[in-house]
Structure 1
Amino acid sequence: MPPKRNNNTNIDEEVPDYIENQSRRNNLILRRDKDDRKETWEQSETKVKEVLRNKLRLNTDNIEIERAHRNGKPGDRPRPIVVKLLRYKDKQNILRQAKMLKGTQIFINEDFSDKIRQKRKDLQPALRAARERGQVAYIRFDKLVISDRRTDDN
């Protein structure tokens, strides 16, 4: 949804961030425990497909990856792989299956602009607090959504 204009926001600041997030709409970030400093795009794509096939049990024949590459400079920490998918539906399917990675050292997340990433990071303490209170809580884009658990007393 495009940014809404109101008296408190500067549209000149909002639009570039909106455009950046739209360009990242089909992207995922894959974090693994291993990183090859001289990894090519083809090798990155192969590693992504291995995770999708072996860990998430997805049929990779129908998932088209436009590009997969490491992001950042090689160093002490493994660099994440940015995965640009051809179809948004593939991204949603992968995110639904990502729960199968629990307990592994592999993480799959959506790709957001730095501004949205910071907002999401700032919401983490409130998210944890709500969950500790027994509420259903999650972050959708840059908003914290909280609801009470419903119990069936019927």
Structure 2
Amino acid sequence: MIKTRDELIYVKSQSMHNNLVFGNIPDVRAESWAESESKLREFIVNKLKLAQNIVDDIQFERVHKMGDFYPNSRHTRKLVAKFFSFKDRETV
């Protein structure tokens, strides 16, 4: 039983190996993946100070918000970015 649980944890950690989680990026209720990705690219350029040409070359497998949207909340949902390349993830 413990071996199976450890294997499951390992598989889960490997599936998230190319992920980064970002906070404090404004969001809206029905934000599309394209809108999330665009906001993330803008955040990386403006807040993390990576050059625009580097950010333009980054490929994401998926970018999406975590959890439920709560209107009138001071908190924003976290944004999860799954990079195609671990190298791009490390650059960011």
Could you say which TM-score interval applies, normalised by the shorter chain? 0.7 to 0.9
Identify the residue that residue 78 of structure 1 maps to in structure 2.
76
Any gaps of 5 or more consecutive residues in structure 2? none
Identify the residue that residue 110 of structure 1 maps to in structure 2.
none
Identify the residue that residue 42 of structure 2 maps to in structure 1.
50
Alignment-mate amino acid for residue 66 of structure 1:
E
Aligned-pair distance for 1:33? Answer: 5.1
Instruction: Figure out how many residues of one structure are paired with residues of the other and give that number.
Output: 86
Identify the residue that residue 106 of structure 1 maps to in structure 2.
none
Runs (4+) of structure 1 exceeding 3 A deviation are none
Structure with higher Rg: it is 1
Any gaps of 5 or more consecutive residues in structure 1? 1-8, 95-154
Q: Distance in 2 between matches of 1:80 and 1:30?
A: 6
Identical aligned pairs, as a percentage?
34
Instruction: State TM-score, norm by structure 1.
Output: 0.52
Task: Specify whether residues 24 and 37 from structure 1 end up closer, same or farther in structure 2 by C-alpha distance, changes over 3 A only.
Answer: same
SS at match of 1:36: coil
RMSD over equivalenced CA pairs, Å: 1.5
Asked which structure has the greater RCO (Cα within 8 Å, sep 6+), the reply is 2
Aligned-pair distance for 1:34? Answer: 2.2
Aligned-pair distance for 1:12? Answer: 1.1
Q: Distance in 1 between matches of 2:37 and 2:27?
A: 13
Q: Distance in 2 between matches of 1:34 and 1:57?
A: 18
User: Does residue 68 in structure 1 map to residue 63 in structure 2?
Assistant: yes
Q: Distance in 1 between matches of 2:44 and 2:69?
A: 24
Task: Verify the 8 A CA contact 2:25 2:43 in the aligned structure 1.
Answer: no
